[in-house]
Amino acid sequence: QVQLVESGGGSVQAGGSLRLSCATSGRTFSNYAMAWFRPAPGKAREFAAAISWSGGSTKYADSVKGRFTISSDNAKSTVYLQMNSLKPEDTAVYYCAARHGPYYFTELSKYDYWGQGTQVTVSS
Predicted pLDDT at 119: 97
33 contacts 107 by C-beta, under 8 angstroms: no
- φ/ψ of 93, rounded to 5, equals -90, 125
**Nearest-angstrom CA–CA distance, 18 and 98:** 21
Predicted pLDDT at 31: 86
Average pLDDT, the chain: 94
Q: pLDDT band for position 5 (50/70/90)?
A: very high
**Nearest-angstrom CA–CA distance, 78 and 63:** 24
